[in-house]
Structure 1
Amino acid sequence: MFDDLRRRYVDLAQPRLGSEVVYATDDFFADKARLISPEPPVFIPGKYDDNGKWMDGWESRRKRVAGHDWCVVKLGAPGEVAGFEVDTRHFTGNYPPGAQLEVCRSDEIVPDEDAAWTVVTHRLDLKGDDRAWFPIDHREPVTHVRLHIYPDGGVARLRVWGRVLPDWTKVKSGKAVDLLAVENGGRGIIANDEHYGAVANLTAPGRGVNMGDGWETRRRREPGHDWAVLELGAFGRIEEVTVDTAHFKGNYPDRCSIQASRRAHGSPEEIAQQAQAWPVLLPEVKLSADHVHVFRDELAELGPLKFVRLNIYPDGGVSRLRVVGKLAT
């Protein structure tokens, strides 16, 4: 289930998009900021701080008065939410038995009760040391999520799965933008191998911070090559492609090529099958270690495009893929 979510959506609450936990009624035992940490939660036996056992998530103190605890996540980019993942891993005797989620659209950092909060889930039953997915049907763009826990306790992670909805009216006519950037609605769909790094990292902001912050496959021991399929945030005429192998030195791909298409449909697996026959945007080119490769003149004119397939030969790691172009009118 969770792998399918990762293929179909992006986590709108990820900090590298600019998302942050801006308010919590109480985070005595565990800092609210850890609720949206990108890494999987961990448990460290014997680790304590001044307030008690250190836990990897958001945890409030035991409530001795009426009421319940809640926190607010400000999304780094407006998006359409498809559902939530509430992760209570490692919280066993201290998880909240109930939760509920609301969303709103606001220009405020911490929206108040006048912000037209919309309840998008019923009262949820949670289990300890568990991961649960709660789909919703809410088609309006949102900027904030409010997580209520009843009455108190700890949640390791909150993932807000959905699609970024960029405001293209703010892009000047004729201006080239990175159509594949996650903040512009780009996303990774599927890769044949993600042994060391996720395809979603290819669309992330900035340069990779280390080898783990990229897409890397295992060492190939059989014929063939590795590939990844990605979707642009909007139809565009591609003018420039950047393949960044930052931090990949003894494990960068020897070569790469890119195919592209205007249309694709079906499941991630079906799109991957279609991608094998897409026309070539960038013919096979040589790559170097830990280097920013920029391609312009090498690109074929294929008209407006929405999908790309990055082929790497035979295997290895790529930190970022940038696909710069102008919106198709």
Structure 2
Amino acid sequence: MSQSVAVWHGVNLASERLGAKALYANDDFFAPKERMLQDSDPVFIAGKYDENGKWMDGWETRRKREQGYDYCVVQLAVSGRINKVEIDTRHFTGNYAPAAMLEACRCSSMPTEETQWTAITDTVALEGNSQKWVDIASNEVYTHVRLNIYPDGGVARLRVYGQPEVEWQGLEGQAVDLFAMAVGGHAIEANDEHFGSKHNLNLPGRGINMGDGWETRRRREPGNDWVILALGHRGEIDEVIIDTAYFKGNFADACSIQVADVGALPETTLAAQSLYWQELLPKSKLGADQEHRFREALAKVGPITHLRVNIFPDGGISRIRVIGKPVF
């Protein structure tokens, strides 16, 4: 049984699916700026050309024949504190940007020429067909970033990881999805994700196809599969929605949910502890390609911070929503 313990860098605040937008680029002759924010991994399609030249999966400017550099302004999906940036040049080889620097600002409207930008990275050297990770040492809240590339070239993907800035006090007493990606909810660990990632479980909207969910391999031994989830904020749970959209011959047959209020314990320690967490939802039947809403079946467990969702015996789930009220 394969096991996944991915390091969580934070929510990708520059995610297209979350709502990030590439507002302006001084040049995107070969490949449009919008492609740089796609959530999918970049691809290379040999022999594919458009009217301007070779089709590339990212943002690519023309060859610069004068002084200066190229740049792209991005509106983050939600404002937040940035802790890590990924600048991805996969499939860009003789046409990648040799260096880059990221600036950020906080403003309530589209940045203008008068906007004051703050450099949040040094100028970093890039390599072709590779992924560059840069740690950010800042506690400021930002709404926009500007990627400068020196002097020109291509970037396949820009990912800006951080913690969304949520005005939780203003949500007191309101029912919200505490597991939503936009509020910092995230999957911590799953025992298997052979066909689909656990990080799909709290993407916005319903799944778009069978590959847009969490799916384990066919189990050929006793037991069941599971995933551990962290809420964006401690809260009391009113409803849990388990969506098996697009999973028809391979949906999880049943599920149960265990929960805990564990505070700031290291996430790497939670898998073993989760075996003994209290039950929120007893083992409950699931069906194909539908939303399942659980309210009356939920136990009164008080405030929680984490969930363990067990599926029996294996299969796929598209989305999980955890509706509740934040507790302070």
Shift of the 113–276 alpha-carbon distance from structure 1 to 2, 3 Å rule, reads farther
TM-score for the superposition, normalised by structure 2: 0.95
CA 1:5 to 1:258, structure 2 compared with 1: closer, same or farther past 3 Å? Answer: closer
Q: Is 2:12 the partner of 1:11?
A: yes
Tell me what 2:45 maps to. Answer: 44
Corresponding letter in the other structure for 1:46: G
Partner of 2:319: 320
TM-score (norm 1): 0.95
Contact 1:7/1:268 (<8 A) preserved: no
Answer yes or no: is 1:284 the counterpart of 2:279. no
Q: Please state how far the C-alpha of 1:265 moved relative to its aligned partner.
A: 4.5
CA contact (8 A) 2:5 2:190 kept: no
Q: How big is the shift at 1:72?
A: 1.1
- The equivalent residue for 1:131 is 131
Q: CA deviation at 1:117?
A: 1.6
Between the two proteins, the alignment pairs up a number of residues equal to 325
Matched, 1:89 2:101: no
Q: CA deviation at 1:75?
A: 0.8
For residues 265-280 of structure 1, what are the structure 2 equivalents within 5 Å? 265-280=264-279
Q: 1:264 touches 1:274 (CA, 8 Å); kept in 2?
A: no
CA contact (8 A) 1:261 1:279 kept: yes
Q: Give the counterpart letter for 2:216 in structure 1.
A: T
- For 2:254, the aligned partner's letter is R
- The question of whether the paired residues in 1 share the 8 Å contact of 2:6 and 2:189 is answered with no
Identity of aligned residues (%): 54
When the two chains are superposed, the root-mean-square deviation of aligned CA atoms in Å is 1.5
Within 5 Å, which residues of 2 pair with 1:11-90?
11-90=12-91
Question: How far 1:184 moved relative to its partner?
Answer: 2.1
Alpha-carbon spacing, 1:4–1:311, altered in 2? closer, same or farther (3 Å): closer
Instruction: Tell me if the contact between 1:265 and 1:271 (Cα under 8 Å) persists in the aligned partners.
Output: no
**Matched-pair contact (CA < 8 Å) for 1:257–1:283:** yes
Report what 2:103 is aligned to: 102
Name 2:180's counterpart in structure 1: 181
SS in 2 for 1:269: helix
Alignment gaps of 5+ in structure 2: none
- Report SS of the residue matched to 2:268: helix
Partner Cα separation in structure 2 for residue 69 and residue 115 of structure 1: 18
Q: Deviations over 1:244-301 (max 9, x none)?
A: 1111000011110011111155544322222222111111111111111111111111
Q: Quick check: 1:192–1:228 contact (8 Å CA) kept in 2?
A: yes
Which residue identity does 2:296 align to in structure 1? D
Q: What SS class does the counterpart of residue 260 from structure 1 fall into?
A: strand
Contact 1:195 1:216 in 2 (8 A): yes
The answer to whether the Cα contact below 8 Å between 1:36 and 1:159 also exists between their aligned partners in 2 is: yes
Give deviations 1:186-225, integer Å, cap 9, x for gaps: 1111111111111111111111111111111111122211
Secondary structure at the residue paired with 1:61?
coil
**More moved, 26-35 vs 74-83:** 74-83
Question: Structure 1: how far apart are the matches of 2:284 and 2:263?
Answer: 25
**What are the residue-to-residue correspondences of 1:220-299 with 2, within 5 Å?**
220-263=219-262, 265-299=264-298
Cα separation, 2, equivalents of 1:5 and 1:34: 25
| 1:116 aligned residue | 116
Query: Does the 8 Å CA contact 1:7/1:190 hold for their aligned counterparts?
Result: no
Distance, in Å, in 2 between the alignment partners of 1:224 and 1:4 is 20
1:191-210 to 2 correspondence within 5 Å? Answer: 191-210=190-209
Structure 2 contact 281–297 (Cα < 8 Å) conserved:
yes
Mapped partners of 1:235, 1:298: distance in 2 = 21
Q: Deviations over 1:23-75 (max 9, x none)?
A: 11100000100001111111111111000011010000001111000101111
